[in-house]
Amino acid sequence: MRWSSIQSLLVCVLLLITSQRAFASTDSIKYGESAISFQIEHNVPSESEGDFSVRSRVDINLEDPNSKVRILQIFSSLERGQVEKLQNMLVASELYTIRARSDPSDPSSPYVYTSIPLCMLASANFREDLSFHLTEDKKLLGMEYRTFTPLDKCSNNQNIVTPDLTITSYGFALEPSLGPEIPKEPNFARGKNIPPGVVVEPTKEEQKKAAEENPSILRKYWYIILPILVFTLFGAEAPQTSPATASASGPATGQQRRR
């Protein structure tokens, strides 16, 4: 009995140690050095801030961004002015806008914005669904609201904003993926099944072959051009008259005139 109890105790201790290690490793993978964090601001200003105030913090796991996104609400309660602002926006069906820095490590980086009619968010009981688009160097390229509520529910919205408003956020991140490449050469056979209006440029081999098949005019008609050229350059000159012939022809001409 003693040995069995000792064995069971050892098994329990081993299971406890293993579970602790597994939990620690999972937590470090989720939100450790391989995660980026940034703050979300919304267009509901507070007394100490400008047109936007900090609302939430987003943690994205870079090892598995498609499934590990955590969004935590920072404020515990809204100020009186914020409650009035949200209520007026809700009645007027204005846009609820959030923003975040594109580079969390650079406070001067440009903002990324997204908006949704506040009545749609209120109709969903302030449950928002967000998608975060990341660049190759793990910067924020864009945000997108995926919360959908028919607009007819917005017109009949009777929600009232309270100071203890809680915004429940869900989200996922998307990394860039390689899209289809434009083929350098058409997929269809050259000269066959070419769509109308498509001009296929000949390849270098085709151009060389065409040049060989279609020689120049000089090469094609050389046997005609060459004799003409030789005759033009070295043709017979007109006969020159000698002085004796010229003197003999002179009197003869004169005698003919006398007659």
Q: What is the pLDDT of residues 171-185, one digit of tens each?
A: 888 887 777 777 666
Q: What is the pLDDT of residues 198-255, one digit of tens each?
A: 676 777 777 777 766 666 666 777 778 778 887 888 765 555 555 555 555 555 444 4
In the block, tokens 């975040």 appear at 100
| pLDDT of 26 above 60 | no
What was the pLDDT predicted at 12?
Answer: 52
Query: What is the residue extent of each domain of the chain?
Result: 30-174, 201-231
Sheet holding 140-145, edge to edge: 140-145, 127-134, 168-174
Angle at 160 between CA 158 and CA 164, to 5 degrees: 150
CA-nearest of 73, 60, 2 to 31 is 60
141: Cβ contacts below 8 Å, ≥ 6 apart = 102, 112, 133, 134, 135
**CA distance linking residue 247 with residue 106, whole number of Å:** 111
- Looking at per-residue confidence, does 112 or 195 come out higher? 112
Q: What is the pLDDT of residues 120-147, one digit of tens each?
A: 888 888 899 999 999 888 899 999 998 8
Q: Which amino acid is it at 49?
A: E
What was the pLDDT predicted at 41?
Answer: 94
Q: Are 157 and 115 in contact (CB under 8 A)?
A: no
Q: Are 97 and 42 in contact (CB under 8 A)?
A: yes
Provide the CA 166 distance to its chain's centre, in angstroms.
35
The fraction of the chain above a pLDDT of 90, given in percent, is 19
What was the pLDDT predicted at 21?
Answer: 33
Please compute the mean of the pLDDT values over residues 67-90 and round it to a whole number: 85
What was the pLDDT predicted at 160?
Answer: 78
Q: Specify burial of residue 93 (Cβ count, 10 A radius: 0-12, 13-18, 19+).
A: middle
Q: What is the pLDDT of residues 84-114, one digit of tens each?
A: 999 999 888 889 999 999 998 899 999 999 9
